[in-house]
Amino acid sequence: MKFSCKKHCSGYASSRIDDLKFSEECGIFGGVSFNHNIAPFIQQGLFMLQHRGQESAGLCCGDKDLSIYKNKGLVMEVLSDKVIHNMKGKTGIGHVRYSTQGGSDVLHAQPHVINYLGEKVAVAHNGNVDAAVKMKKHLEKQGEVFLTTSDTEMILKKVVRELCKAPSLWTFEEIGEVLTKSFLGGAWSILFCVPGKVFAYRDPLGYRPLALCEAEEGIFVSSEDTSFQLLTRKKVIHIQPGEGVIITADGYEIKRFAPEMPSKMCVFEHIYFARPDSNIFGRNVYMARVELGKKCAIENPVDADIVVPVMDSGFAPALGFSQQSGIPFQMGLMRNRWVGRTFILPEQQMRRNSVIRKLTPMREVLEGKRVVVIDDSIVRGTTSRELVRMIKNSGAREVHFRSASPKLINTCQWGVDIPSKKELIANIYKDTAEINNFLEADSLAYLSLEGLKEIFGWNNWCYSCLTPSNVNSSEVMERNEYCGLIPAACAD
Ligand code: AMP
């Protein structure tokens, strides 16, 4: 998780808690293994979730006590084989944390572990809690002390305060009730670990995915089901919104902890975030992205000679665009797979240079061609503008840019790292023609919001980053009434 100031002075060192926006788009993996230490399974599971977070990695495991290892860096750097070899026990949870703009601190790496009444309890969280700042302030006024600015630490401390007993005595229902009452409206796929037991929950609105795998090697939960591929799988179950699971050495039990209600599955997981070989929210990510490309081609046809993807996330939509339009698919841009993510670099110039290092044009493919370039999304426009220039400099006759998602016009309160509203190119220029002028392309078009909704559905999805306002208070009220719940402990 991370925060950035509303005024966009991002980082960890701000003293003005009021200005903080908690935000997290991470990966979680955990479970109980039957015959071997769980650490190698968690290491491998997290490695498959590396795309969900490159800032830090961590693992907590044990049978009678919990040991923890976490640090900044990629999974295989932090959780090296040497580290894993020394981590014993069959129960555990792990976490990868998303990169952030500005500084960071290892304190924010997860899992978070606390010692309470002589027992340890650990938590790993993917999501973002709505009332985090308010509730944190409220708890601080009651004497609570926080080591981090993380909403995850706050969730853990809230649960401790509400349950007020040794973690080994906590029940699935009790934790679920605290989570629902306190954090309804927030996004949380979350794992709690006490020695010998893992509790997993997916928030009642189901913003973030969570899947379970019954395998020969044990029972595991993960943000994405692709991370089960290294196991001998017997059964994979997708945990539904408002459901959770208790895992012990004796097996697992999936239980509902909150009433069913209209869900808010994050459409951006499908557009960009999740791995293409994962199945989330009832559909395969790759197939969904191909559909996005097809729809974009239907809505925004163009006379061109080749379709070129912006690798990696533009690959599947470009393929769909090509299949639908009949325009041949060509790899006109080559991706250097060793370059880190450009999106998170703090300076615009750094991001620009990084785009050039990441994607290089192939003159042999592009020269003299009318090119359609497809990316999954346009955020600040940095990538697209650089690419248009590169492709033109490589001799392309025309460059037509297509975004396989609608205009990104809002930030995300529920965890996807989207820069401040004023940095979004679709907010800087209201008109597509103006954005096109900025990109210096021959034409620009986006998939429409209606088109996107036709693919995914009109209800049960969160489209808030693609719509002007992402807080609908009457909706929140309705939801709370629906559950007979009052958002707890937020009042000063
Ligand atoms: P930009 O250059 O700011 O327009 O960024 C656009 C690129 O960032 C596209 O290639 C997207 O695949 C990628 N992208 C979109 N959303 C995110 C995100 N939340 N985190 C990292 N990369 C993203």
DSSP letters of 205-237? T--S--EEEEETTEEEEESSGGGGTTS-EEEEE
- What pLDDT was estimated at residue 472? 53
Tokens representing residue 462 in the block? 């969160």
Which CATH class for the 283-461 domain?
alpha beta
CA of 384 to the centre of ligand 1 (A): 10
> Of all atoms in ligand 1, which is nearest to the CA of residue 25?
19
| Banded pLDDT at 24 (limits 50, 70, 90) | low
Whether pLDDT at 102 is above 50? no
Q: Print burial letters for 423-439: b (CB count within 10 Å at least 16), e (below 16).
A: bbbbeebeeeeebbeeb
Please write the tens of the pLDDT for every residue from 186-204: 999 999 999 999 999 999 9
Of residues 364 and 3, more confidence is placed in 364
Average pLDDT over every residue of 420-433? 94
Architecture in CATH of 26-279: 4-Layer Sandwich (3.60)
Residues 6+ apart with CB under 8 A from 452: 267, 292, 295, 405, 406, 463, 466
Whether pLDDT at 342 is above 90? no
- What pLDDT was estimated at residue 479? 56
Q: Where in the chain is the domain with CATH 3.40.50.2020?
A: 283-461
Nearest CA to ligand 1 atom 5: 379
CA of 383 to the centre of ligand 1 (A): 8
Angle made by CA atoms 443, 436, 343, in degrees to the nearest 5? 115
Whether pLDDT at 79 is above 50? yes
> Of all atoms in ligand 1, which is nearest to the CA of residue 344?
21
What three-state secondary structure class fits 381?
Answer: coil
- What pLDDT was estimated at residue 296? 98
CA of 419 to the centre of ligand 1 (A): 10
Nearest CA to ligand 1 atom 11: 377
Nearest CA to ligand 1 atom 9: 377
Lowest mean pLDDT among 131-135, 141-145, 448-452: 131-135
Q: Where in the chain is the domain with CATH 3.60.20.10?
A: 26-279
- What pLDDT was estimated at residue 347? 60
Q: Supply the DSSP symbol for 329.
A: B
Of residues 374 and 412, more confidence is placed in 374
Residues 6+ apart with CB under 8 A from 110: 1, 26, 56, 58, 70, 95, 97, 123, 124, 125, 150, 152
CA of 33 to the centre of ligand 1 (A): 37
Best residue among 285, 352, 358, 377 to mutate for probing ligand 1, ranked by most atoms within 8 Å of CB: 377
Whether pLDDT at 222 is above 70? yes
The C-alpha atoms of residue 393 and residue 399 are separated, in whole angstroms, by: 11
Query: 0.75 exceeded by the pTM?
Result: yes
Q: Supply the DSSP symbol for 290.
A: H
Please write the tens of the pLDDT for every residue from 232-256: 999 999 999 999 999 999 999 999 9
CA of 343 to the centre of ligand 1 (A): 6
Ligand 1 site residues, Cβ closer than 6 angstroms = 272, 310, 313, 341, 343, 375-384, 416-418
- The answer to whether the CB of 191 falls within 8 A of the CB of 221 is yes
Catalytic choice (5, 9, 26, 164): 26
The C-alpha atoms of residue 221 and residue 239 are separated, in whole angstroms, by: 9
Whether pLDDT at 464 is above 80? yes
- What pLDDT was estimated at residue 34? 97
> Of all atoms in ligand 1, which is nearest to the CA of residue 381?
4
**Mean of all residue pLDDT scores within the chain:** 88
- What pLDDT was estimated at residue 13? 27
Lowest mean pLDDT among 323-332, 338-347, 415-424: 338-347
Q: Tell me, yes or no, if 5 is annotated catalytic.
A: no
Number of Cα atoms under 13 Å in the Cβ half of residue 244: 26
| Banded pLDDT at 486 (limits 50, 70, 90) | very low
DSSP letters of 178-191? HHHHHHTTSEEEEE
